[in-house]
Chain A
Amino acid sequence: MMDVVVIGGGPSGLAAASEIALKGYEVMILERDDELGGLLQQCIHDGFGTILFNESLSGPEFADRFIEKVKESNVDIKLETYVKSVDKKEGCFELLTVTPEGVHKIKSRSIVYAIGCRERNRFEIKIGGTRPAGVYTAGTVQRLVNLYGVLPGKDPVIVGGGDVGLIVARHLYLEGVDSLLMVYPEDFFSGLPRNAQQCILDFDIPYRNRTTVKRIIGDKKIEGVELVEVDKNWEMIPGTEEICECDSVILSVGLIPYSEKVEELGAEIDKETKGPVVNEYYGTTVEGVFSVGNLVQIFDYVDDAVKTAYIVADGVDKFLRNIDGKRKKSVKLVPGDKIRTVTPQRIDYDEGKEVTIFFRPDVEKENAEVCLVSSEKVIKKYRKKYIRPSTLEEIKVPKGLFDGEKEVIIYVL
């Protein structure tokens, strides 16, 4: 019987495993790939680690710091191991895993899910037309280009101005595609401003804002796309259609927490983040099941995702030692005006520690005032120099502030 099984060997899973092992528990980490590191192994650009290490590392370099830590600890590492199902049994969880050697059962007292997110596809954003070869998601292209040296095409159109798309645009440009066009429905790129700057603007890569793809054209292979302008509600403007020839389409249209597995176990899912609802220790609504990293919500910086792994270690410790400090009723944290998401969504413990809250603004604003409100009374205010939807924000709530509260709304004034 293990104390903890961590599912997922990306940065958050690695950090969670090594931190929990430091507390003296028997930890196993399961990874379906044949090496650790997760998505970071294909993120070869730099900019990772500026918060945690005050250095600008590449993805593989950042991952390696955590891989080393896990290897130095006594964490049991299982590669090429896919978790088929998890069953809640009397006092423990039973995992059914599939490996090249066969099917195995693993028992554990608790589980930390660190299985990250997936990319949205063309059908989720309702791109019409035929279904020819040549339609990729940006993450797939990143993997093809950076690990296999394969270009998706000679003249791709990138749909969506998200971070992965921006970074892939630069790789494709530098690796020598003939032509490249990025289109996105917003007024400005939805990815981080730094990526817009260093990936698109630095190289004068052509882009069109307020534009989307109406349909994909081509029988077996893509021949082109029909572009259309959109208004500020992203509604297509009739009469603005235009055919654009291309040999591939790359979708960078957002990431979604891969939460089906925890939902099957009975965990409550947040409609806004699309990840499981978690408490301040990243425990889900199922006792003994925890969730960290991009599974909780999409983080902009891996540094922040990893922070959740440090916090979960204390939560797992409390659970395994059977420490009961929970409130009679948890305090709910709710996104209010001009806020899209808030995590954690609930405060379960009563012991009074400082809590880090992440929120995603729904507005771009300078000198923004962020208010915590309970029963129509402002209980705390924060000032933020500059907020925008592309950047996840963080506030620290001092201990004791939530005492006696039932529901706290966070909004931007």
Chain B
Amino acid sequence: MSYRKEVLCIRCPKGCRLRLKIGDEVIVEGQECKLGVEYGRKEASSPERVVPSTVKITGARFPRLPVRSEKGVPMNKIEEIIDELRGIEVKAPVKKGAVIVENVADTSVDIIAERDMEVKG
């Protein structure tokens, strides 16, 4: 048995309306690029999102360092991840892409720095 579902692709700002046919395999229609196929399949089985947030940083030009999950994490883990990030504090300098938290909330996904943050008084 298969069933149909419509989802909105969020992989890029275009926002393609995907029609999913979900059975033994997932057939995706309505996408304008291959990111849509990937997204549709994932959305049918276990929806994931990239999580952006910030952590405290000292000695930098701003008191916050922007970070994100290196790739998508299960949607139901988002709030746990944000809670874990609340307790994190790093010191400048930090390099773009540096791992800030390994295996965040047991998702086996790392939290990485989005930018360089040099020392600034």
Contact = CB atoms under 8 A, between A and B. Distances in A.
Contacts of A60: 66, 96, 114-115
A61 B115 contact: yes
Interface residues of A, number: 34
A44 B114 contact: yes
A362 interface: no
A226 B17 CA distance: 36
A147 B96 contact: no
Interface stretch (A98-106, A192-200, A262-270, A272-280): A192-200
Contacts of A300: 13
Contacts of B11: 47, 50, 56
A370 B88 CA distance: 52
A405 interface: no
A51 B12 contact: yes
B114 A50 contact: no
Interface in B33-84: 35, 49-50, 52-54, 56, 61-64, 66-68, 75, 78-79, 82
Given A60-B114, A149-B54, A174-B82, A198 B64 contact: no
A352 B66 CA distance: 45
B13 A47 contact: yes
A34 interface: yes
A50 B53 contact: no
Contacts of B14: 50, 194, 391
A149 B50 contact: no
A61 B98 CA distance: 13
B66 A146 contact: yes
Given A58-B114, A60-B114, A202-B49, A44 B66 contact: yes
Interface in A147-171: 147-149
Given A174-B82, A194-B15, A198-B49, 10 more contacts: A35-B61, A44-B54, A44-B114, A47-B13, A50-B13, A145-B54, A149-B64, A174-B78, A202-B75, A300-B13
8 contacts: A56-B12, A58-B68, A61-B115, A64-B116, A194-B9, A198-B10, A202-B49, A301-B13
Interface of A: 34-35, 41, 44-47, 50-51, 56, 58-61, 64, 145-149, 174-176, 192-194, 197-198, 202, 300-301, 385-386, 391
